[in-house]
Structure 1
Amino acid sequence: MKQTLLFSFLFLLSTISYAHLGTLTGRVIDESTHLPLRNVTVQLVGLGKATLTDDLGRYRFDHLVASPYKVEFSSVGYASFVQDVVIADDQTVYIQTSLTVAPVTLNTVTVSAQKAHDQQLISSLDIRLRPITNSQEILRLVPGLFIGQHAGGGKAEQIFLRGFDLDHGTDIRLSVDGMPVNMVSHAHGQGYADLHFVIPELVEAVDFKKGTYTTDKGNLATAGWVDFRTRTALDRSFVKLEAGQFDTYRAVAGIDLLGEKGKAKNQSAYMASEYSYSNSYFDNPQHFKRVNVMGKYHRHIGNNTNLTLTGSTFWSKWNHSGQIPDRAVDSGLIGWFGSIDPTEGGETSRTNLNAQFVTVTARNHIIKNQLYYANYNFELYSNFTFFLNDSLNGDQIRQKEGRNLFGYNGSYSTQTSLGKTSWITTVGAQYRQDVTPGLGGRPTELSHTKNRVETLERIQYGNINELNAALYADEVVQLSSRFSVNAGLRVDFFRSQYEDLLANPATKKYVTQAIVSPKLNLYYTFNPRVQLYLNTGKGFHSNDARVVTAQNGREILPGAYGSDLGIIVKPFPKLLINAAAWYLWMQQEFVYVGDEGVVEPSGRSRRQGIDVSVRYQLTRNLFADVDLNTAKPRALDAERGQNYLPLAPVFTSTGGLSLQTQYGLSGSLRYRYIANRPANDDNSIVANGYFVTDMQANYARKQYTVGLSVQNLLNTRWKETQFATESRLQNESTPVDEIHFTPGTPFFARLSLTYFW
């Protein structure tokens, strides 16, 4: 009874204390597009109170004493703006603010105490200073992430991050506008992620986080996750033409369909398309062709709901030279850009439909709903071992599939405050299903072929049906103006089914498993210049349906446990540093090797390292950046000296200078470096590192931009991807285990002309 009276008294006291205080709410939009701006820093000048705008451009300050206030708005790439507001007792004041585009300055970057878990300081700077000009640059915007292409530009890039050889996406979750890119139980390997359906000029922002710490990111988000957001509207229509060495041509166009009339009605629509062709620098012409078409429509449905509809289709076809062995080049059998099997190549396509609804209720709650569908086709011919297994016909393989992918993402968020404490509660549900048979789908196939024409033997042939359903709850608690806590809990359920069509009669097996993933993240912001954080969480990486059904459901969802201890600091107004020491431990997992159709147990592993990112504004127009990333990856179940993780990077660095002037001249000079690393588990074979520089220069006027881009400015001879592979050439009696590589781009210059209207 006494406890009840005490609680009632304290509640009454807090109610009286805040009974006559006011509230400030508002919305921030882009002046040219009239679209909401997210992650704008909103500060009450002189009070040390700051917050970030949400996806709808909204913000809110509660419990304000009746008084005049100065509200400052700042965001990278926009002019800062200060607005005067008067708050009265028991009054809620609403204002709408428009920000105009302005040159980038680090002065506008503020370390936020509120919503610290969602900050994207580095990425918002980088994309403004280093606009994406080709598909390879899309992923390179993530600090410490390296990519390698070993199939002539048509195949998804190989990815390296935080001591991982991620293959094509095994431990990094990639999405575009919330729609998954990774393909689970893919013909070429788990998590295969092909981003080539994205038109680079349409990428507006790149959100990312390294580690296992985000509640609404589930499968594959162990090394981290990346979400690419495409433009909701075009500032202007444009046509861009490119031409370069090696018979390289590209045309891109984006057309604003509604113009000013659409903006007046709070809606926008555009269509964009891309065509690319190149023979590339290999001795055997690539005949690489790619076609992209995308359309997007956005409007307000009533006063409280936004609707965004996106549709796109993509097709690509190419030849490639594959990986070549060191000995073939050293002996003069082939040149540096030659090939052993010139008939390698592939064809792929993807069609996407994406519908997103965001609703704000009368009580200021946010409801998000997303429905998506993709039809995907893939066919790849490769030859990694040449004549090791078949001395007469060679070892060429075909990996092929046609799948349908559909799913749903939904969440419900509320924001509550009591005194100086506020919290945002989000509950969500997710559903995804991948099906290879039916609706035009084709079974997942691995076959032994010859000359890309003749099928010699089917090694695997069957249907995948994989379901992933998840529920999650996430809480962000602002305990004070400096200290915030993010806690989350996620539950995933998997049903993995494989129908083996080679068995007689065909056999169908399925297994199920669930996994619980807790998260806990702490942020302490000393002031708008210094923030400490501790991220902890459990994640997971699902395994291929063909593997887990063969293993009778054992180790479907091996867990990953990670932590980051980091600091974000602005010692000077024009210097930003983000540094973190990190750790990641992974359970036993069975990895499906799609190139051979076998299962390889990888055992437990441990990775630890340090990430440092520095952004510095040297002058009004010149910016410098550098990323330094170390890692110590080890297998835990192997003997010392035999416990290296093949191809895992141990030290990488990227950086450069970026120029932006008021006279229309802009450009960048950049480098990327990766150190030597083990290519096998005892480090007896080494993958050589490289240091490569790129350059870009642009001159822009009101209606046109002329650009020059040069890859590998110093014409360095380097190996882009490397593998320790046992192979046998046609004239050899015994196999050889050594480095097989794809040569990196030589000096490669391209000119572009963009016209706006």
Structure 2
Amino acid sequence: MNRLRTRLLAAAIGAWCCQVPAYADPMLPAVLIHGARDSGLGRLDSASAGSVSRQQLEARTVYRPGELLEAAPGVLVTQHSGEGKANQFFLRGFNLDHGTDLRTTVDDMPVNQRSHAHGQGWTDLNFLMPELAARLDYKKGPYSAREGDFASAGSASVIYANRLARSIASIAAGQHGYRRAMTAASPEAFGGNLLYALELLHKDGPFTTPEDYRKVNAVLRYSRGYANNGFSVAAMAYRGRWNASDQIPQRAVDAGTIGRFDTVDASDGGDAQRYSVSGTWRRTATDSASKVNAFVIRNRTDLYSNFTYFLNDPVNGDQFAQPDRRVTSGLNATHSWHLHGARRATDITAGVQLQNDNIFNGLLNTRERRRLSATREDHVVESSAGMFIEASTQWNPMLRTTAGLRSDHYRFKVGSDRAANSGAVRDHLASPSLSIVLAPASTAELYFNMGTGFHSNDARGTTAAFDPASGDAVQPAPGLVRSRGIEAGLRIEPVQSLQTGVAVYRLAFDSELTYLGDAGATEAGLPSVRHGVEVSNSYKPVKWLSIDLDLAYAHARSRGAAPGQAHIAGAVEGVGQLGVTVSRRGAWSGSANLRYAGPRPLVEDNSVRRGGGATLNGRIGYRVDSRLRLELEGFNLLDRRDAAISYYYSSRLPGESQARDDVHFHPLEPRNFRLSAILQW
């Protein structure tokens, strides 16, 4: 029994420490990481879950803030348009578009935007400030009752620090008009700590029409107490403006009509704003723990896009605008009871998650950002209440389980400019989950996970009676779509410096119904199933050197498709990352990351495919003295002429008499460098 209590105490301390990293408060004990990563033994419930520390995040070379999520093995982040637009995400055979089925939070605030004008689950991470990221927690699969909407493929949670060990100021300059200035500090104030941060950025990119991306980003945060007993309140503000490069047709590049970094419609672009106020309160007693956080977020997005050029309107062109205005408010509350018996110990956690989105958006036909007509304009109020209970039991030193049940209730209310598409719909789902962990040795664990999850569909699809563009009658879409997952895994640490994890999974969706923001209509998709295997390795042969190797393979197919039509367009079949980090050798440090994105079909019959491509990024740092550090970052060091993302569809260029089916791609940026000077005091 003493051994069991010791193991439970160690796990509790590890979980507690992870609330705020060691650097954030010198009075907190440090989390022990034997290898390059925290092994998670004795703490995590699946082989595909994990946590990435501040030091590991700081060592990564990221071209854009959203790429911080690539620290989670198997995640790919790219861009098909201007830098201010939400990124494209790929995970476990999903082309997640702009975030559907990857639940993302920053400081417990949801980033995914429901019923967005451009795409369901719109995840704009451009407001993320990497210097403030204390930790990244990730999970894959619908195996946790704590995660709700959009979490079927996975979830990623970025936690900001309450306080910084040292104040920081940095300036950076690079090719293609890249300029960045940033400062942050957390002095003691009013009996607590007042953290402030400001970021200014400009970037043109390599494109013939400069992106002229301008970003202003600020954070103000007051905290008092510690990770387990304390509170914080925070305000964030972000604005970005840009010109969009968008994807271009392969046929025009091959013919020499346009170059790889040209654009067809130079007036494409956008403007995004995000303002938020949030607060978090925690209280921990001997046998219980409580946490409450609340938030209000105001988002505004204006997108101007033209993907088909002159296909639908030979005179004015096909540019369209997607305005979106919303206020999102929510409350999350959990309470845990720690029950200790003579032979076992159980933690029971109950929680409630409330969210309301008040949305005004639409789809407009435009020319050079001037309004011509409206395809649709809507007022959406989407409300949800999620409740869960989860019980984690340590039965003996070799066996622990986590069983959970979640219930979600949604109300979709749509006021459309077409009365027939207006209305109110309710939907609900119950989602059970179970995780079993066997620990035959202190350095090895076996995992078995099963559960159900869901994603919500766009509210406008749930009340649709007519296609707003064609006027054809359509069937309304269900509000919630169920997913079912099962996974088996292994995590071992044969020696303190080496960790290996293996996960084999299967994930099925009842339907891949998606809302096509570019057309203003809902597309009915077939049921789907994905299965695959992931291998994650981390090795620290010496104190100053870390090596990470992550490999993943996914097989994605539609169910019930016509013969030869079962492939899922955009489903990446293989992903790999090799990272090498030199933490410090005298005054020098550095890292290199080789990322591989595998081949994928672009159409359902697999007749058009795109091959895989590799990207090498790197960083070299030199510490001038205890306060000043210089860093040189290099991107696409192999200068590959790959596509960042590719699609296959019909378009019509000026001078063409008819539509042409073609591959449309966004080029990977050529080799470029950035130099930073970082001052800490």
TM-score, normalised to structure 1's length? 0.84
Partner of 2:403: 487
Given the alignment, which residue of 664, 668, 674 partners 1:740?
664
Secondary structure of residue in 2 paired with 1:291: strand
Partner of 2:278: 354
Q: Deviations over 1:174-202 (max 9, x none)?
A: 00111100000000010000011111111
Partner of 1:524: 438
Shift of 1:320: 1.5
2:610 corresponds to 1:687: yes
| 8 Å CA contact 1:366, 1:412 repeated in 2 | yes
Change (3 A) 1:676 1:282: same
Shift of 1:127: 2.2
Partner of 2:470: none
2:498 corresponds to 1:575: yes
Shift of 1:535: 1.1
Q: Distance in 1 between matches of 2:169 and 2:54?
A: 26
2:218 corresponds to 1:293: yes
| 8 Å CA contact 1:446, 1:459 repeated in 2 | yes
- Which range is displaced more, 654-663 or 289-298? 654-663
Change (3 A) 1:126 1:566: farther
Unaligned runs of 5+ in 1: 1-17, 25-42, 60-74, 79-95, 437-442
Partner of 2:240: 316
Q: Deviations over 1:138-187 (max 9, x none)?
A: 11111111111111211010000000000001111000111100000000
Q: Distance in 2 between matches of 1:623 and 1:54?
A: 22
Q: Deviations over 1:335-360 (max 9, x none)?
A: 11001111110000000111111122
Q: Distance in 2 between matches of 1:208 and 1:469?
A: 23
2:178 corresponds to 1:248: yes
2:532 corresponds to 1:603: no
| 8 Å CA contact 1:522, 1:533 repeated in 2 | yes
| 8 Å CA contact 1:687, 1:739 repeated in 2 | no
Q: Distance in 1 between matches of 2:28 and 2:463?
A: 55
Q: Distance in 2 between matches of 1:312 and 1:645?
A: 38
2:163 corresponds to 1:163: no
2:282 corresponds to 1:282: no
Identity of aligned residues (%): 31
Secondary structure of residue in 1 paired with 2:252: helix
Q: Deviations over 1:391-416 (max 9, x none)?
A: 11110010001100000000110001
| 8 Å CA contact 1:185, 1:543 repeated in 2 | yes
- Which range is displaced more, 636-645 or 183-192? 636-645
Secondary structure of residue in 1 paired with 2:134: strand
2:629 corresponds to 1:705: yes
Partner of 1:634: 557
After TM superposition, the structure 1 = structure 2 runs for residues 613-632 of structure 1, keeping only pairs within 5 Å, are 613-632=536-555
Q: Distance in 2 between matches of 1:394 and 1:174?
A: 35
| 8 Å CA contact 2:17, 2:31 repeated in 1 | no
Change (3 A) 1:289 1:478: same
Shift of 1:531: 0.5
| 8 Å CA contact 2:531, 2:555 repeated in 1 | yes
Shift of 1:367: 1.4
Partner of 1:509: 423
| 8 Å CA contact 1:253, 1:273 repeated in 2 | yes
Partner of 1:715: 639
Change (3 A) 1:116 1:652: closer
Q: Which amino acid in the other structure matches residue 527 of structure 1?
A: A
Q: Distance in 1 between matches of 2:250 and 2:37?
A: 50
Q: Distance in 2 between matches of 1:707 and 1:367?
A: 42
Change (3 A) 1:341 1:420: same
Change (3 A) 1:137 1:591: closer
Secondary structure of residue in 2 paired with 1:713: coil
- Which range is displaced more, 683-692 or 168-177? 683-692
Q: Distance in 2 between matches of 1:234 and 1:663?
A: 24
Q: Distance in 2 between matches of 1:561 and 1:693?
A: 36
| 8 Å CA contact 1:52, 1:112 repeated in 2 | no
Q: Distance in 2 between matches of 1:556 and 1:136?
A: 28
Partner of 2:389: 473
Secondary structure of residue in 1 paired with 2:555: strand
Shift of 1:115: 5.8
Q: Distance in 1 between matches of 2:278 and 2:319?
A: 37
Partner of 1:173: 103
Secondary structure of residue in 1 paired with 2:396: coil
Given the alignment, which residue of 586, 590, 593 partners 2:509?
586
Q: Distance in 1 between matches of 2:88 and 2:567?
A: 19
Change (3 A) 1:475 1:117: farther
Q: Which amino acid in the other structure matches residue 289 of structure 2?
A: I
Secondary structure of residue in 2 paired with 1:558: strand
| 8 Å CA contact 2:47, 2:502 repeated in 1 | no
Secondary structure of residue in 1 paired with 2:242: strand
| 8 Å CA contact 2:323, 2:362 repeated in 1 | yes
Change (3 A) 1:276 1:407: same
Q: Distance in 1 between matches of 2:29 and 2:121?
A: 40
Q: Distance in 2 between matches of 1:672 and 1:562?
A: 27
Partner of 2:372: 456
Q: Distance in 1 between matches of 2:421 and 2:534?
A: 48
Q: Distance in 2 between matches of 1:23 and 1:603?
A: 48
Q: Deviations over 1:427-462 (max 9, x none)?
A: 1111000002xxxxxx2110110011x211100101
Change (3 A) 1:130 1:715: same
Q: Deviations over 1:106-141 (max 9, x none)?
A: 299555335646996562498267346551431111
Change (3 A) 1:100 1:149: same
Partner of 1:446: 363
| 8 Å CA contact 1:129, 1:658 repeated in 2 | no
Q: Distance in 1 between matches of 2:38 and 2:104?
A: 26
Q: Distance in 1 between matches of 2:104 and 2:61?
A: 17
| 8 Å CA contact 2:151, 2:453 repeated in 1 | yes
Q: Distance in 2 between matches of 1:471 and 1:253?
A: 40
Q: Which amino acid in the other structure matches residue 199 of structure 2?
A: E
Q: Which amino acid in the other structure matches residue 624 of structure 1?
A: I
Change (3 A) 1:142 1:112: closer
Partner of 1:402: 325
| 8 Å CA contact 2:142, 2:152 repeated in 1 | yes
Q: Distance in 2 between matches of 1:421 and 1:693?
A: 49
Change (3 A) 1:307 1:98: closer
CA RMSD, 1 decimal = 2.6
Q: Which amino acid in the other structure matches residue 539 of structure 1?
A: G
TM-score, normalised to structure 2's length? 0.93
Shift of 1:368: 1.1
Q: Distance in 2 between matches of 1:526 and 1:733?
A: 69
Q: Distance in 1 between matches of 2:480 and 2:646?
A: 29
Change (3 A) 1:214 1:327: same
After TM superposition, the structure 1 = structure 2 runs for residues 65-464 of structure 1, keeping only pairs within 5 Å, are 99=29, 105-106=34-35, 109=38, 111-113=40-42, 116=45, 121=50, 123-124=52-53, 127=56, 130-131=59-60, 134-258=64-188, 267-300=192-225, 305-361=229-285, 364-436=287-359, 443-452=360-369, 454-464=370-380
